[in-house]
A and B are shown apart, each in its own frame.
Chain A
């Protein structure tokens, strides 16, 4: 009995040792394995899933989140969000009531590069699919209005969707005023702020965090405007653009080193104030010329 036990322990030690050698040698030779999606047809996947449609929808949702996060954090310049929409489409086809996949998914899809694929059209398509599955969901209509407002700067369309969401059963009353404000003052920073404030009160943590981040972006845009005004005044006064923050400090326009609301330093080059690309708030949203 002792001999077999000793042999088992010996062999186990051998396995562990060889595994360590294997690891030291670098493991399996690397191959270029891009992210793959073997089945792209939602209809085919629905059939293949048998009675596991919901569970498979969860798996595709986790893949979508991982794909989005992985691409967003990737240093690879060729990294792309190509699989994001197919993954979300599969998720919502397998489980048409997966509400978070529509709401988060539209935020993922609409964000401009490098923070997202910059496809507001697909974000809207996903939300419209959600509305077809659940026509009573005013949240999807609100989110469509939001994509039109924020990413397409199409304020009449945004106002129409906010109004539609307000008219749906359970739609909150503040969406009516949002529709009116959007129509009258679309693109103005304070109306954008009102919109994100509503989202930052969402019960869904990720949307709440996204709302808070967007509010910080609006704060950063206000601060950049003030710093830019100081830089422009400097240029008018001295006839040359600001070279660095020391210029503004010496001229008495500034005290200390300006930082964005997340603590990242602002940058100034050739008299233009910008956000640091390493900031959590980068890139700032594009703003229509008339908006302030």
Chain B
């Protein structure tokens, strides 16, 4: 055994935490004063991007705990979680590689989740980490709401026939709530169950392919 070997052994033991390192203010100040190699910009950018993604994931996970998905349609659930996580539609859009308008349409229920390409639906489910049983239930609520809304939407357009963004959001939410109530009374739409089943089956396959076993529950 020589000095080099002994030092390697010491370094290894320190790095794996088997030997403690005395770290007080003086030592850390001294360590920070020493010259360190410059980190390439590309590495910094990559790390910052990863950090942002991890923060968003943590915020979504935290927000999900406070949202009662059982009473919500898929889109409204996404909206509620996004808002509680303090994310903008643009943030979610960037993660899904889509525009903020796409996210808005998804949240408002203008896009039927059953009719979304499986990959896109899987992207959303992966981002919000929703398990299949919950997705299935929320999609059913979405479809019920959409079908009911079809018949009452026309009467809700009162702004020159155009949707106005500022007002439209509130109107849509109120309409959703109203439609949900009506749908609950009338029961699940006939024939839709088959579509939903097919959608969930392909979603299950896609999630399996992506190795997201934890979402298959």
A and B form one complex:
no
